[in-house]
Amino acid sequence: MTLAHEMPMRAAMLPRHDWTREEVRALFALPFPELIFQAAMVHRQHFDPTEVQISTLLSIKTGGCPEDCAYCPQSAKFDTGVKAEKLMEVEAVLAEARAAKAGGATRFCMGAAWRAPKDRDLDKVCAMVKGVKALGMETCVTLGMLDGAQAERLKQSGLDYYNHNLDTSPEFYGEIITTRCYQDRLDTLAHVRDAGINVCCGGIVGMGEGPEDRVGMIATLAALPVHPESVPINMLVQVEGTPLSGAAKLDAFDFVRTIAVARITMPTSMVRLSAGREDMSEETQALCFIAGANSIFYGPKLLTTPNPGRDRDMRLLDKLGLRAME
């Protein structure tokens, strides 16, 4: 791998979709300071590095999911104490969106624990999307697998982003989920893209995967025909009762490396420092921002797991001289 001071800078930093595993592996293998330096340079080419985009995530339908994602407390297959609830009413969701807006969020994400939405559920979600848009916020939903017609309906309601993560590498995927395959995920992403909705797609690390799986996950994302506009990188939040409870913890530097490689390979995407911040030191989070993360989830809860409170986040952004993106 060429070191930064030897790189033909402009050519190296334009978005590319032909990243090979070898190239991605070589980025991960760079000396840590060199990797962070390259990522920080790429970040500056496309973004103001002092700005952080703030999203809020609300669980609009919690628990009782028939899928078996080994990290997820909302799967009905694991005894985690998460109670299955019905889809929230539209007005209740809009009240939460108003509060999120007042707290500085510019994007409101709504998550439902489904394998795939039923059409009658989609009617309600479309009404939520319309209502949140009317508040002047960007909208994002994550509802599981979609077919083309469902993606089109969401687009018609004004949806800006659809979240559907690849989770991990194609090779490790079967260790984490058995109720749907990697290709199902890619198909949903293609339906979302075809409908003209922006894509939010990333993954989770710290699930017991090996370094090559982190390479494979980023290489797959970076080789998509269009890079996801948002790339959430999550650190596993271990929840008792899930199969991944007790998994070996990932070293913080490996997490930061994953952020940096995502930034370099997908230079124009928002890279989101997503789940796992509650247990992360301020110093690790600061390194993630230096390495090119420029988006966070804000608010005390991420679906069903804890997240730092708003005050704590604001204090951290203040300490680092960062500010919320308009």
**Largest interatomic CA distance in the chain:** 57
Please report whether residue 69 would count as binding ligand SF4 according to CB under 6 A: yes
Contact residue for ligand SF4 among 55, 59, 75, 265 (CB under 6 A): 75
Number of separate helices (H) and strands (E) present in the chain: 12, 12
Please report whether residue 13 would count as binding ligand SF4 according to CB under 6 A: no
Catalytic residue among 107, 126, 193, 200: 200
Identity of the residue, 243 or 292, whose beta carbon is nearer to ligand SF4 in the bound complex: 243
In this structure, what token pair is assigned to residue 208? 């017991």
Work out how close the CB of 141 gets to ligand SF4 at its nearest, in angstroms, rounded to a whole number.
12
Backbone dihedral region for residue 229 (phi beyond 0: left; psi -120 to 50: alpha; all else: beta): alpha
> Which residues are paired to 110 by β-bridges?
58, 141
Of the candidate spans 68-76, 151-159, 197-205, 219-227, the one that interacts with ligand SF4 by CB under 6 A turns out to be 68-76
Catalytic residue among 72, 126, 201, 288: 72
Please report whether residue 65 would count as binding ligand SF4 according to CB under 6 A: yes
**CA distances to 67, 165, 242, 312 from 82, in Å:** 15, 22, 11, 26
Catalytic residue among 25, 69, 107, 153: 69
Please report whether residue 163 would count as binding ligand SF4 according to CB under 6 A: no
In a 3-state reduction of DSSP, which class is residue 291?
Answer: coil
Work out how close the CB of 233 gets to ligand SF4 at its nearest, in angstroms, rounded to a whole number.
16
Active site annotation includes 72: yes
In this structure, what token pair is assigned to residue 126? 């479309």
Work out how close the CB of 111 gets to ligand SF4 at its nearest, in angstroms, rounded to a whole number.
8
Active site annotation includes 200: yes
Please report whether residue 144 would count as binding ligand SF4 according to CB under 6 A: yes
Please report whether residue 285 would count as binding ligand SF4 according to CB under 6 A: no
Of the candidate spans 8-16, 69-77, 262-270, 280-288, the one that interacts with ligand SF4 by CB under 6 A turns out to be 69-77
Which amino acid type is present at position 116? A
Catalytic residue among 25, 126, 140, 185: 140
Please report whether residue 67 would count as binding ligand SF4 according to CB under 6 A: yes
Active site annotation includes 288: no
Name which of 91, 192, 165 is nearest 135 in CA terms. 91
Active site annotation includes 181: no
State the Cα–Cα distance between residues 166 and 326, nearest whole angstrom. 28
Query: How many residues at the interface with ligand SF4, by CB under 6 A?
Result: 8
Please report whether residue 233 would count as binding ligand SF4 according to CB under 6 A: no
Contact residue for ligand SF4 among 38, 53, 74, 163 (CB under 6 A): 74
Write the CB contacts of 270 (distance below 8 Å, at least 6 apart in sequence): 53, 229, 230, 231, 294, 295
Within 96-115, the residues that bind ligand SF4 by CB under 6 A are 113
Name which of 55, 60, 195, 194 is nearest 138 in CA terms. 55
Active site annotation includes 140: yes
Distance of CA 202 to the CA centre of its chain: 5
Name which of 156, 58, 178 is nearest 113 in CA terms. 58
What torsion do the CA atoms of 260, 266, 267, 268 make, to the nearest 10 degrees? -130
Q: Which residues bind ligand SF4 (CB under 6 A)?
A: 65, 67, 69, 72, 74-75, 113, 144
Active-site residue set: 65, 69, 72, 109, 140, 200, 272
